[in-house]
Amino acid sequence: MLRFILKRLLMLLPVLIGISLLIFAIMSLTPGDPARLVLGSYATEEDLNAWREEHDLNDPFFVRYFDYIGDALHGDFGNSWATNNNVLEELSYRIPTTLKLTAGAMFLMIIIGVPVGIISAVKQYTPMDYITTILALILTSIPAFWLGLMLMLKFSLQLDWFPATGSDTFKHFVLPSVTLTAAIMANLLRMTRSNMLEVIRQDYIRTARAKGATENRVVFKHALRNALLPVITIIGLNFGNLMGGALITETVFSIAGVGTLLVTAVRMKDTPQVMICILFIAAAIGLINLIVDIIYMFVDPRLKTQFLKAR
Amino acid sequence: MKSIFKQALGLILVLIMTCGVFGCTSPSDTTTAQESTEPASGSTEATAASDVRTDLNFGLTGDPQSLDPSKTTDQMSKAIWYQMYDTCIMRDNDGNHYPGLAESWEISEDGKTVILHIRQGVKFHDGSDLTAADIVFSLGLLCDSPQTTSKMVSMSAENIFADDDYTVRIELASPFGAILDVLSCDTRIVCKSAYESMGAEEFNKSPVGSGPYKFVERKTGEKIVLEANEDYWRGAPTIKKITFKIMTDSNTAVLALEKGELDFLSHAPLIARQELMDTDGINWYETDLAGNIYIVFNEDSEIFSNPLVREAIAYAVDKEEMVIGAVEGNGTPQSTMVPPSDAGYIDGFPDIPHDEEKAKELLAEAGYPDGFSFKTITQENATYQKPAEVLQGQLRKVGINMEIEVLERGTFNDQMHASNFDMLVGHWTTPIPDGYFLIYTLAHSSNIGNQNFSRINDPELDAQLDIIKTSVDEAERTAAFRRADEIIQENTYFVPLYTFKAACAANEKLMGVQADPVYKFQVYDYYWAE
């Protein structure tokens, strides 16, 4: 098991290096002079050149990239061009907030998406199924920034149940988590429903029913265990969507997380800050997928056997 | 049990969905708009009653880049500096200067030496005394920094030194008409000993100034907290604690203000003007911005190097319609480049009338009887894009087909600074409300390759701009501003379009609030009504 985890972690390294090269290239090769953005409209050409020189922007692309990677491997990810703060420090302030938001959204996604998907499948072609299917379709279609504002208007401004902005208490995370999870939860709901439907039609379910098992036993003992396997993968993959969605949600709810940090950095063409944010998100997604794979092995006896055999 | 569970789940989902439908209703109905309130003193008397609030939640629509006044130029950072640092001289909204850290000042007859007599007994937030050395150090930091505002000092100062502990001497390379404005706006004084002992990076994290508020804490991207400096030399402020809350989404900031999570919103979005005016308990404040929207031509362009074409465009533009189309009527058409809120504005300067027939005649005379086509650039920002779109429609009426290419901010800036355009709609704000910072910067030939994007090289105009820069005689400066406006109009170097509103919105019980053309909000002047 340890070897498997180590192997997977090592495989993450080339992925991260590939991503770093891609982002570095995008930041460097797209138009827009960071010197001008940082120094402002009154800066003269001399000032701009001095700034570029100071930040090694006059060096060739690959020299700059390998310098960056070299420093990064020593733990030095540089200082923000815009604020001059250490980018790693800046990121570390923001991570807990984003993790709280993502965890909240994931929690809602699982506790609502999976059971409602199951009910919808078990009660196929009933009003309950129609309602949830239509709701899922609507939730998938609503843009997060609009849903966020609407939730704020209703539950914060009018009903005064939750605060509109900030991230100090549990209450602050309710509306952002709902906003962040809405579309993804709907997606999970639909996936759970279709998986469940597929499993429910299998022969062994008919056999279980034929031998006189109760409906609850058929659904929870026989059908659910098999239907959940692909759902776990989807939950893992959706973590990436949640991290990406956090960009918009954090901006709408004025939450100081990794998303807002990244958005501000991109606007300023602040390469060191953008790089560390994207690398963090990529690493987080990689790790979550690793965890999902490990869980998968425990949940699916076939995989566990394969793994044990291979060992 | 199972059915209850199902019902609960269904209810949650329905709730989430229906909020969208109900959420569209507006929470308020009455109008409480006003232009500006009476100025208020910063004295402590106002807090006699115990139930009067002494804290303030100040909304900022961006995260300040730096708390070190020599390190950046962004307006969000300045909102914090205004509370934490003092200037040598102070300036009111009418342009009058009065003593700040400098009790008095003298300008030599040749205008090249400024002597500041520094107030004694002023203490920094760390308890150390403020002396001339701190002023020299702070101005030196600004001169050495490549950032925008600092240029104002460094472009003029040749030598800054302390004659004694409480006298600062600034020697200028040439007389500088706006020197008092420069010393009263963004030239903020920091504590030399704290800065030197901490270094720039640490100072940014725990800055030390002498202003009415002291730094307490910062959570980047979230909030900055300041507390009252009870030993402030002008008397302790009435508001005891300011929490700057960062809300990068302006819709959210407006909502937070309506909900009471914010008491004051700087840079209030003009699009929310009516909504906030209609909201109970919120006051809207606005004034003309120290900046403008204008058409800029590239003098090296094949088409627009022809003055007749430029003049035709000036006649083709309908500025009234532009103000309605681009800023929903919240602006003022301009006949000069210098906006009304800047020193150097010439009131009643005649404008070129809107006359499409005349425009067509001029185009025919210039050799384009059937008009022409060209491409302009703009940036993905309503301030630039909307007037460009309105202009597109207006030019079409005289046969000019203008294609618009929308670029992101960085690319647009690059193209503009490289004069890589034929004609575009530009926007300029001055960090200090003096027209010098606008027309000298944009039109003096010495700035070709920098901010003179049009590449204007007119010795007659240069001569007037030089007077504007160096003269300390107000009448002489005004005459030069008038003549410069005339030269710009005669040659149609620019077509000034309009200026729009600089706005803020606040809880109606917060007194002393005033809109400001450069968003210079001083919480020291605010207090809560009982």
Whole-angstrom distance, CA of residue A104 vs CA of residue A100: 6
Q: Cβ A32–B410 below 8 Å, yes or no?
A: yes
Share of chain A above pLDDT 70, in %: 98
Residue B392 pLDDT: 95
pLDDT digits 0-9 by tens, B368-394: 999 999 999 998 888 899 999 999 999
ipTM value > 0.90: no
Distance CA A70, CA B260 (A): 49
* Predicted confidence (pLDDT) at residue B16 exceeds the cutoff of 80: no
Q: List pLDDT tens digits, range A184-209.
A: 889 888 888 888 888 888 888 888 88
**The pLDDT of residue B17:** 39
Confidence of residue B130 (pLDDT cuts 50, 70, 90): very high
**pLDDT grade for B45, boundaries at 50, 70 and 90:** very low
Question: Using the beta-carbon criterion (under 8 Å), do A254 and B255 form an inter-chain contact?
Answer: no
At residue B395, φ and ψ (nearest 5 deg) are -70, -30
Q: How many CB atoms lie within 10 A of CB B430?
A: 27
pLDDT of residue A311: 54
Mean pLDDT, rounded, of chain B? 85
pLDDT of amino acid A16: 92
Instruction: Kindly state the average pLDDT of the residues A75-91.
Output: 89
Angstrom distance (rounded) from CA B280 to CA B283:
8
* Closest residue on chain B to A168 (Cα): B222
Distance of residue A60 Cα from the nearest chain B Cα, in angstroms: 20
- A29, A41, A118: best mutation site toward chain B, by most B Cβ within 10 Å? A41
- In chain A, which residue's Cα lies nearest the Cα of B27? A158
Q: What is the pLDDT of residue B153?
A: 53
pLDDT computed for residue B530 by the predictor: 79
A267 touches chain B (CB under 8 A): yes
Supply the pLDDT for residue B27.
34
Say how far apart CA B327 and CA B288 lie, in whole Å.
13
Looking at A179-183, B376-380, B471-475, which range is the least confident one? B471-475
Are B22 and A164 an interchain contact pair (Cβ–Cβ within 8 Å)?
no
Q: What percent of chain B has pLDDT over 70?
A: 89
The reported pLDDT for the residue numbered B381 is 83
Q: Residue B505's closest CA among B37, B11, B144, B1?
A: B37
CA-nearest residue of chain A to B449? A45
A-interface mutation test, from B19, B407, B439, most A Cβ less than 10 A away: B19
pLDDT of residue B30 exceeding 50: no
Summarize pLDDT for A16-71 with one digit per residue, the tens: 999 999 999 999 888 888 888 888 777 778 888 888 998 888 899 999 999 999 99
Query: Angle formed by the axes of helices B382-396 and B319-327, to 10°?
Result: 140
Which of A152-156, A304-308, B316-320, B344-348 is least confident? A304-308
- Are A76 and A67 contacting, i.e. CB atoms less than 8 angstroms apart? no
Among candidates A82, A135, A142 on the partner chain, residue whose Cβ is nearest the Cβ of B65:
A82
The interface residues of chain A toward chain B in range 212-251, judged by CB-CB distance below 8 A, are 251
Residues 35-64 of A with CB under 8 A from B: 36-37, 39-45, 47-48, 50-51
Question: Which residues in chain A touch residue B296, judged by CB atoms under 8 angstroms apart?
Answer: none
**Higher pLDDT pick, B176 / A298:** B176
SS (H, E, C) B352-378: CCCCHHHHHHHHHHCCCCCCCEEEEEE
CB contact under 8 A, A165 and B252: yes
What's the pLDDT band for B362 if we cut at 50, 70, 90?
A: very high
Determine whether the interchain pair A254/B27 forms a contact, defined as Cβ–Cβ distance below 8 Å. Answer: no
Q: Could you tell me if A93 lies within 8 Å of chain B, comparing CB atoms?
A: yes
CA distance B500 to B31: 22
Q: Which residues of B fall within a CB distance of 8 Å from A260? A: 63, 221, 248
Say yes or no: A90 contacts chain B, CB-CB below 8 A.
yes
**The pLDDT value given to residue B263:** 95
Inspect the interface and report whether the beta carbons of B413 and A33 lie closer than 8 Å.
yes
Using an 8 Å CB-CB cutoff, list chain A residues near B411: 30-32
Contact between A116 and B410 using a beta-carbon 8 Å cutoff? no
> pLDDT by residue (tens digit) across B181-195?
888 888 889 999 999
Average pLDDT, integer, range A151-168: 87
Candidates A82, A84, A269; nearest CB to B204: A84
Pairing of strands B157-164, B423-429: unpaired
Q: Between the CA of residue A306 and those of A9, A301, A310, A311, what are the distances in Å? A: 20, 9, 6, 9
More confident residue, B246 or B5: B246
Rounded mean pLDDT, A253-278: 90
Mean pLDDT, range B446-475, rounded to an integer: 89
* pTM of the model as a whole: 0.82
Residue A192 has a pLDDT of 87
Backbone angles phi, psi at B99, to 5 degrees: -65, 140
Q: Check CB contact under 8 Å for B148 and A42.
A: yes
Q: Measured on CA atoms in the order B130, B132, B135, B138, is the torsion positive or negative?
A: negative
More confident residue, B12 or A2: A2
> Looking at residue A32, what is its pLDDT?
80
Q: Is A149's Cβ below 8 Å from some Cβ in B?
A: yes
Half-sphere exposure of residue B225: CA atoms within 13 angstroms, side-chain side: 8
Query: B48 to chain A nearest CA, in Å?
Result: 31
Burial zone of A22 (CB within 10 Å; 0-12 exposed, 13-18 middle, 19+ buried): exposed
Confidence check: pLDDT of B396 > 60: yes
Query: How does pLDDT run across B329-346, given as a tens digit for each residue?
Result: 889 999 999 999 888 999
Report the pLDDT averaged over residues B32-60. Answer: 57
Chain A hits for B414, Cβ within 8 Å: 31-33, 36
